[in-house]
Amino acid sequence: MLIALIFVLSLLPTSHGFASIRGYSTVWRNHKDEIVKRVVYADSRTRLAPSFSNEIVSLNQIPKHWEYEAFAVAEVQKLVIRPTRRL
């Protein structure tokens, strides 16, 4: 069982050495536990899919104090990110 799990995980695309799967959203919080920025993955093709290798860097570069909506474009391995509302 453990060998089968290791084999399946080795087939998934990796980011930073581990298989990274997107959830519904990514939230950044400050030391007061207040939401600083939020990225909501907009469609079902973007959610619960392996993340791209450069995704964490691009998400960290977007400005704070906004909520964003993100769509994955698999052909170019990028996220299209647009602001939806100010936090």
Give phi and psi for 57, each to the nearest 5.
Answer: -65, -45
Position 10 scores a pLDDT of 65
pLDDT tens, residue by residue, 41-85: 988 888 888 888 888 889 999 999 999 999 998 888 889 999 999
- Whether 18 shows a pLDDT value over 80: the answer reads no
| 82 strand-pairing partners | 69
Model confidence, pTM:
0.72
Position 28 scores a pLDDT of 94
Joined together, the tokens standing for residue 9 give 């995980």
User: What is the distance between the alpha carbons of residues 68 and 81, in angstroms, rounded to a whole number?
Assistant: 6
User: What is the distance between the alpha carbons of residues 15 and 50, in angstroms, rounded to a whole number?
Assistant: 9
Position 13 scores a pLDDT of 56
